[in-house]
Structure 1
Amino acid sequence: MNESLNPTLPVGSVDTPKRQAKHHQVEHRQLNPAIILLVIVFLAMFMTYVVTSGEYQRKGILVVPGSYQTLEKDASPAQLWSTAERKPEDKAARPVSLTEAFLAIPQGIEKSVGLIFMVLFIGGMLGILSRTGTITAGLERLLGATKGNVYVLVPCLMLAFSAGSTFMGMAKEYIVIVPLMVALANRMGLPNIVGLALVVVPLKIGYLASVTSPVALSVAQPIVGLPVFSGMGMRLLAYVILLIVGTGFMFLLLRRYGFNRAVAAQFEGGRLTVRQALNLLLLGAGIGFLIYASNTWHWHYPALSAYYLVLGMLFAAVAGLRPSDAANAFIEGMQKVLIAGVMIGLATAVQIILATGDVLDSIVNWLAQLIGSHGPFVSALGMFFSQLLLELLIPSTSGQAAVTMPIFGPLAQLSGVTPQTTVYAFLLGHGLTNMISPTSSGLLVLLAAAQVGWGQWARMILPLMLVFSVIAIALLMLAVLIGY
């Protein structure tokens, strides 16, 4: 029997000396994700020297098709040490210097300060909730009700999380859920990454399909002249297929990490105290109101941060924690997700560097030329792979749609690709890379919430991403074939 699930140990115990030693060895072998992102920052700086600078004219955030112009640029190595100040009236482009690359990191943190504070406040709130014992007690009740049967739990959780993502565009709301699912996985004797996958895999499936997600469709479809939410059939087909495959992947993941159903059956659950029951009700009501408020009043990061702070204070009051204990728990919770702030700053620095060096529009223009007029099937594939690549450089859904749809839309129609299929290629390509992109602040925050390294996540999710890629290409070819 798997040593981590030996029935002679307390249920959920995984801390055998052998397993601890193996865990520390894996930690030492892993490259810190901050180093990976720092390398990407300097690769972006290098690109400003080797890629031609250029720009499109814009109307608001939308690119004007056919308006691309190259810019003069002195890309000599001497520019690497330049300290000359950039001025708005400068017409010539200039590659990013070493000084500017380093400055881009704190500038990235400053630009993303709202998101960073929200993540810290979420960590603090969860620190208080964990100190009250509510999470552990609630999970005991859940596992007791199902006897730890993952074949019931996993499909239900996958369906619920993916539905919120694909129909309502939920994403940041799941940051609160990740630590709960990590605790659930730990309670069943499974590592953090399984709990993370329970949230991120269905979230990304919903993101890929975007059946009625307003985040992607409200920007992409009007640009190419389509009514918002039109063409739902093919997106719904993608959602069903990807959800089935993703659920199968989760079962394989559980088997890989040695989940033993006989051990899970030992869960009987326990009685909740009145305070714990009230805090669980408060947590459920808090998440429900968050979803309503985010969609109704379009709360931004400061409002969300304040909301999580208030929730944390309410959890502490209901649990009867002393003010000092609550404050200590809040700070400890913040410390666990502090690395997320650095990661977000580094990811944003990449975007700042590419924009400063005026190379992002050049890359988009180069990809548009590759798509060209090669017939509908080749052009559709060209758009798919272009969107897949551009997600690394433009991790924002609305931002990528605003840059690429005005350019790819007319090109696609010249090649015989319909506007609906153009949007479909955008959703599938952008969504696939988003599963693994080290420059996606959304993914980095989820990884930080689960305390899972990017390298560990990438190795685990890459096989599923490749399978999804094959499915996405097949669906895209079907869309072209039927004139979707």
Structure 2
Amino acid sequence: MSKLPQQNDSHKQPKKWLKMPHIYVLLFIFGVIATISTYLIPSGVFKRVKGPEGREMVDADSFKYVQSDPIGLIDFITIIPRGLIEAGEIVFFTLIIGGMFMVLRRTGIIEIGVDKLARRFMNQSIFIIPVLTITFAIIATLIGTAELSLVYIPVILPLIIALGYDSITASAIALCGTVVGFTIGVLNPINTGLAQKLSGIPVFSGLGFRLVLFVIVIIVTVLFIMRHAKKVKSNPSYSLVYEEDREKREIYKDITQHQPLVATKRQKIGIAVVLLFFIVLVYGVITQGWFMVEMSGLFIVMGIVVGLITGLNTQEICEAFNDGFKDVLMGAIIVGLARPSPLYLKMVKLWIRLFTA
């Protein structure tokens, strides 16, 4: 009986235990570490004194040890629900944005915009990269939901492939543009607004500095993506996903040969209303001090109004919101799980005291 040929070691599947754990698992592990830390690290306190502009500051020379108060079983098993509750504004803000954008997709507005861009930039395709990247960055820097990049990619993928680029280019436009906007956070309530609120400084102060930083970083990002795109355009085999994109290239190669999508009168009105809502958003954030609750309410109204104007019925609008919630659900839950609940704050305080005492 002949022996079976031995498999090449290079083709062996990686061991499962070497895989990166799910983000939920990592966050749970942090919770376990935080709990154990409260038993191992001595407790202590600092006095707080008045600092510049009346803000409280820690007096570094006032540390003293106090009786330990380790985390109990009930505190440990409730850190996740408590984190979700305390981050409720952020969680629902993320869900509502996902729902609102799905309503816009169902109206056909986004697809019409993509079709027009494909035809407009067919002979100067490289310029579609700065247009889309900057658009996604502006949206993220205003409303601050990086998870929307998952919504953008399938929308722009046919356009980018049809223009002679690859899936990596499409993903980079959506991901890099969104992350740059989110990170700089010109008027981002989730990172900039929340951080400034917790720090006790005026919310959205330093706007000019962030605008300058936004322009610089987005220029570098666009040039980086364009550099890759040009190489793929001149030599498609340069792409790391050349084989994987073969089927997509066949499907989307004639995308601009079809009849152009024409916006109906109702869709044109819907587009105008969307722009009006974003103007109201910027006005409310800058002059009225709007934050996540007000912005969430505005997005709900925006989805309903635009949906009705463009011809969707109430059932279709509700289903679109549900589908949008699903697209960003994981991101919303992670925000809640990563919320600095009292347990995590206590762990951080203990570590600070351990290394500063």
Q: Given the two structures, how large is their TM-score scaled by the length of structure 2?
A: 0.68
Unaligned runs of 5+ in 1: 1-28, 73-91, 370-484
Residue 141 of structure 1 is matched in structure 2 by 116
Give a deviation string over 1:82-103, Cα, whole Å, max 9, x none. xxxxxxxxxx332223431221
Residue 324 of structure 2 is matched in structure 1 by 333
1:105 deviates by 0.8
Instruction: Tell me whether 1:44 sits opposite 2:34 in the alignment.
Output: yes
Q: Do the aligned partners of residues 163 and 105 (structure 1) sit closer, same or farther apart at CA in structure 2, a change above 3 Å counting?
A: closer
2:63 pairs with 69, 82, 87, which one? 69
1:157 deviates by 4.5
Q: Do the aligned partners of residues 353 and 222 (structure 1) sit closer, same or farther apart at CA in structure 2, a change above 3 Å counting?
A: closer
Residue 250 of structure 1 is matched in structure 2 by 225
Conserved in 1, the CA contact under 8 Å of 2:103 and 2:317? yes
Q: Report the identity percentage.
A: 19
Conserved in 2, the CA contact under 8 Å of 1:158 and 1:199? yes
**Alignment partner of 1:339: what SS?**
helix
**Alignment partner of 2:74: what SS?**
helix
* AA of the residue aligned to 1:125: M
* AA of the residue aligned to 1:336: D
Give a deviation string over 1:27-73, Cα, whole Å, max 9, x none. xx76432222222222222333333433333358632332552433x
Residue 106 of structure 1 is matched in structure 2 by 81
Task: State the distance in 2 between where 1:231 and 1:338 align.
Answer: 33
* AA of the residue aligned to 1:182: I
1:181 deviates by 3.2
* AA of the residue aligned to 1:199: G
Q: Given the two structures, how large is their TM-score scaled by the length of structure 1?
A: 0.52
Unaligned runs of 5+ in 2: 1-18, 162-166, 230-238
Residue 68 of structure 2 is matched in structure 1 by 93
1:164 deviates by 8.3
Conserved in 2, the CA contact under 8 Å of 1:217 and 1:229? no
Task: State the distance in 2 between where 1:231 and 1:130 align.
Answer: 33
Higher relative contact order (CA 8 A, sep 6+): 2
Conserved in 1, the CA contact under 8 Å of 2:100 and 2:321? yes
Q: Do the aligned partners of residues 35 and 275 (structure 1) sit closer, same or farther apart at CA in structure 2, a change above 3 Å counting?
A: farther
* AA of the residue aligned to 1:185: I
| Mean CA deviation greater in 295-304 or 190-199 | 190-199
* AA of the residue aligned to 2:110: I
Instruction: Tell me whether 1:56 sits opposite 2:49 in the alignment.
Output: no
1:342 deviates by 2.5
Structure with greater Cα Rg: 2
1:289 pairs with 275, 280, 283, which one? 280
**Alignment partner of 1:100: what SS?**
helix
Conserved in 1, the CA contact under 8 Å of 2:277 and 2:302? yes
Residue 152 of structure 2 is matched in structure 1 by 181
Q: Do the aligned partners of residues 329 and 184 (structure 1) sit closer, same or farther apart at CA in structure 2, a change above 3 Å counting?
A: closer
Residue 317 of structure 1 is matched in structure 2 by 308
Conserved in 1, the CA contact under 8 Å of 2:44 and 2:63? yes
Instruction: Tell me whether 1:274 sits opposite 2:265 in the alignment.
Output: yes
Q: Do the aligned partners of residues 114 and 230 (structure 1) sit closer, same or farther apart at CA in structure 2, a change above 3 Å counting?
A: closer
What pairs up with 1:386-465 in 2 under 5 angstroms? none
* AA of the residue aligned to 2:317: A
Instruction: Tell me whether 1:354 sits opposite 2:325 in the alignment.
Output: no
What pairs up with 1:150-229 in 2 under 5 angstroms? 151-159=126-134, 170-173=141-144, 178=149, 181-187=152-158, 188-189=160-161, 190=167, 193-203=171-181, 206=184
**Alignment partner of 1:337: what SS?**
helix
Residue 299 of structure 2 is matched in structure 1 by 308
What pairs up with 1:364-375 in 2 under 5 angstroms? 364=352
1:337 deviates by 2.4
* AA of the residue aligned to 2:116: R
Task: State the distance in 1 between where 2:47 and 2:123 align.
Answer: 57
Task: State the distance in 1 between where 2:269 and 2:32 align.
Answer: 50
| Mean CA deviation greater in 182-191 or 132-141 | 182-191
Task: State the distance in 2 between where 1:198 and 1:95 align.
Answer: 42
Task: State the distance in 2 between where 1:114 and 1:294 align.
Answer: 16
1:108 deviates by 0.7
Residue 96 of structure 2 is matched in structure 1 by 121
Task: State the distance in 1 between where 2:68 and 2:123 align.
Answer: 60
* AA of the residue aligned to 1:119: T
Residue 8 of structure 2 is matched in structure 1 by none
Residue 419 of structure 1 is matched in structure 2 by none
Task: State the distance in 2 between where 1:231 and 1:305 align.
Answer: 25
Task: State the distance in 1 between where 2:76 and 2:183 align.
Answer: 35
Task: State the distance in 2 between where 1:204 and 1:46 align.
Answer: 34
Q: Do the aligned partners of residues 327 and 63 (structure 1) sit closer, same or farther apart at CA in structure 2, a change above 3 Å counting?
A: same
* AA of the residue aligned to 2:157: N
Q: Do the aligned partners of residues 132 and 364 (structure 1) sit closer, same or farther apart at CA in structure 2, a change above 3 Å counting?
A: same
Task: State the distance in 2 between where 1:272 and 1:155 align.
Answer: 24
* AA of the residue aligned to 2:100: M
**Alignment partner of 2:312: what SS?**
coil
1:134 deviates by 1.9
Task: State the distance in 1 between where 2:119 and 2:285 align.
Answer: 33
